[in-house]
Amino acid sequence: MAATDIVRASTRVAMVWPQVAIVQRDLADLRAAPSGDSELVDQAQYGENVRVLGESDRWRYVQGADHYFGWVTLDDLAVLTAYAERFVVAVLLADVRDAPRGDASVIARLPTGTSVPAIVATMEPADGTRQRVPYAHPEGWRETHLGPGWLTGYVALSDLVDVRQLPHRYPTADDYLETAESFIGVPYLWGGTTALGLDCSGFVQQVYRLNGVALPRDADQQAMLGRMVEEARAGDLMFFGADSVTHVALATSATEFVHAPMKGGVVEHSRLGPDRKLRVIRRYLPDPAAT
């Protein structure tokens, strides 16, 4: 791997961790606006988890498991505010080594945002009872297991972050842009979703995912969620195509964007021009006036 690639892979990626809420009513209505008279856009069922992405008085803007967005009254939710220990990859690509040493062989590479499963040790005292005890990881490393065969590997703690240390708040357009900057220069790869290679929809999907928002995999599917707006603002998605949606980009302003352009290219900044037909602009976060 070239030195420039190593530096890029070790780039720390900005991300936020919005709160999760559990639906505590038999059916919770998701409304288009924070009002009981607003259009019903979806329903969440008792016990489902939703991501909390905004607020307006006693309403919360959420995304459910089916990816739909809407406003739910706070009375229908139990918002979780505490977090257990959980480590996720905080760099573009984290090396997994076969021993807890920086010069050990790399056996795998984990993309940013990947959870590194916790290892639980058990102890069986003389009385035959079994109990969990803290697992002793090597200093500066996190041990993990990779299948098949549960191969043991080690990830440097410097490449990880405990989710308890991440910002726990609503994501903003600035968060999207800061995350997107980490991927500038990543090569285009059809079907790619990591810093080893990205296509246009994989790029925006990862930027949103790292800030707590789930999007479908393909651009035409992404263009069905959120709400249509006439003029882009930073953080919106711009969709392009002659007869149908074939390309997506992350808006940085009304006329500029970041995208994974085409085969042979890299993730880059660009601006609107005659080379691509802008079909629609979609917004996935609540408008500032509603928060």
> Which tokens in the block code for residue 220?
């035409």
User: What radius of gyration do the chain's Cα atoms show?
Assistant: 21
DSSP state of 187: B
For this structure, is 259 an active site residue? yes
For this structure, is 145 an active site residue? no
Catalytic pick among 67, 145, 200, 269: 200
> Which tokens in the block code for residue 26?
């038999």
Distance CA(47)–CA(33), nearest Å, equals: 23
Distance CA(10)–CA(111), nearest Å, equals: 11
Catalytic pick among 67, 137, 168, 259: 259
Distance CA(110)–CA(194), nearest Å, equals: 9
CA dihedral of 231, 237, 238, 242, whole degrees rounded to 10: -140
274: buried, middle or exposed (CB in 10 Å: 19+, 13-18, 0-12)?
A: exposed
For this structure, is 200 an active site residue? yes
Catalytic pick among 67, 168, 247, 269: 247
Distance CA(82)–CA(35), nearest Å, equals: 29
CA dihedral of 62, 39, 230, 257, whole degrees rounded to 10: 20
> What is the C-alpha end-to-end distance of the chain, expressed in Å?
45
Sign of CA dihedral 100, 104, 107, 111: positive
Strands (E), 99-226: 106-111, 115-116, 121-123, 131-133, 141-146, 151-156, 160-162, 193-194, 197-198
Which residue is listed with tokens 């058990």? 122
Q: Mind telling me the catalytic residues?
A: 200, 247, 259
